[in-house]
Structure formats: structure tokens, C-alpha cells
Amino acid sequence: EVQLVQSGAEVKKPGESMKISCKGSGYSFTTYWIGWVRQMPGKGLEWMGIIYPGDSDTRYSPSFQGQVTISADKSISTAYLQWSSLKASDTAMYYCARRGSGSHDNWFDPWGQGTLVTVSS
Amino acid sequence: SYVLTQPPSVSVAPGKTARITCGGNNIGNKNVHWYQQKPGQAPVLVISYDTDRPSGIPERFSGSNSGNTATLTISRVEAGDEADYYCQVWDSSRDHPLFGGGTKLTVL
């Protein structure tokens, strides 16, 4: 079974750093792009960026460029999303999702279960 | 920049047909994908490439796309279909995915 399992919920203070993870299983992790999506409380889905674990090619949404860092460790089939200095406005649910295999397969399936991040003083 | 427009909410009685639209300039020339997100759960792909149902998705779910509107149709709606639904395309000008604002389906 293809699966993405994300790390658990986090509660942080403004200014702290954080790294959340997304572990893939049941497929060749290095040959599928992994994307990250933010969902703020009560709001819709926002694409943040995407990484190809095979060579770590990474693309960011202009809205998130410079605000987060996406990385991957293919030896343990895990992608990461990290912040160097959190803000209260980073409070949200974060999802990872696998992009389709072909160059034009621009859909996402499956999705991880989500990581809830709360940033509060 | 490209914009996808969805109605905030759609209501339908059980057993009836729900139609959720996704508007965009010449969206008929793009591939549209649809996701279902039930409360407290992660999104699930229900339609890809305008009309394709992934394995495990009921035949009651179907899609169409033409002109400036893509449509997700749910036939014989059940209480369990109550969820938020999002359309998604690839914004080729920015080379990244773009989501619609989402539509909350309420089953009366």
C-alpha cells in the first residue's frame, strides 16, 4: 500500500525553529515528486512547494519562497518542511502529498494525514 | 495570474444529484483534478484528468470540463458525501499547482 506518514502535532513559540517530516512507503520514493500544502484554520488548500527526492530538485510557490525550506533524505524515504523562525501566522495544518508519476500527471495522491502546527506565545 | 472560482457552498437532498463547479478562463484546455476533504481528514483524489476515477472511488462521482467551467457531479448523494471539495489545475505560467477555494457540500 502506498502511504505517506507525517510526524506528529507540534506546539511552538514565535521565533523557534521547526522541522516536520513525511515518510513514504510502498513505492519507489526517489521517483515521485512530493509536494507540501498548507491549510490554515477554516481555510482552503495552498500549495507551498515540491521536491523530487531522486535529485533534490526543489520548487517553491512565490508565496513561500524564503519562508520555508523543503528537503528530502532518500536513504530513509523522508521529505521535510522546515522553518527557521516561526510566526503565529504559521499556525496551520500541513500536508504532504505525492504527485503522479508522469511528467503531465499533475495530481496528488495519496496525501499524508497532516501535521498540525500551533505557534503561540 | 490564473484563478479558479468555486461556489462556497452547495446543498442537496439525499438521493439527488450535486453539481460543483470550478470556473477558470478556458479551463476546458486544462486538466482538472478534484479532491474530497471530509471534516478532520486529509484530502482524497476523487477525479483526475477531468473525468477519471481513481480506484476505490464510487461510480457516483463523475467529472466534465468544457469552455470556462469544470464540473464535479455526485449522483445519488449520500450523507457520507458531505465534505469540502477542491478543484486543481496546473498553472503553466507559474509551473505549479493551483487549487480552487473549495466548496462545502451539505447534505440536507
DSSP code per residue over chain B: ----B--SEEEE-TTS-EEEEEE-TTGGGS--EEEEE-TTS--EEEEBTTTBPPTT--TTEEEEEETTEEEEEE-S--GGG-EEEEEEEEETTTTEEEE---EEEEE-
Of A27, A20, A26, A18, nearest to A96 by C-alpha is A20
Which residues of chain B are within 8 Å of residue A62 when distances are taken between CB atoms? 94
Which residues of chain A are within 8 Å of residue B100 when distances are taken between CB atoms? 44
Question: Would you give per-residue pLDDT tens digits along chain B (108 residues)?
Answer: 899 999 999 999 999 999 999 999 999 999 999 999 999 999 999 999 999 999 999 999 999 999 999 999 999 999 999 999 999 999 888 889 999 999 999 999
Total CB pairs under 8 A between chain A and B: 58
Closest-approach residue (CA) in chain A for B94: A61
pLDDT at position A101 = 83
Closest-approach residue (CA) in chain A for B88: A107
Three-state DSSP class for A90?
A: helix
* pLDDT tens per residue across span A2-57: 999 999 999 999 999 999 999 999 999 999 999 999 999 999 999 999 999 999 99
By Cβ distance, the residue of A62, A107, A112 closest to B45 is: A107
The Cα of A101 is separated from the nearest Cα of chain B by a number of Å equal to: 13
Say if the Cβ atoms of B97 and A95 lie within 8 Å: no
By Cβ distance, the residue of A44, A100, A112 closest to B99 is: A44
* pLDDT tens per residue across span A74-107: 999 999 999 999 999 999 999 999 998 877 789 9
Say if the Cβ atoms of A111 and B101 lie within 8 Å: no
Which A residues, 59 through 118, put their C-beta within 8 Å of a C-beta on chain B?
Answer: 59, 61-62, 95, 97, 100, 104-114
Say if the Cβ atoms of A113 and B42 lie within 8 Å: yes
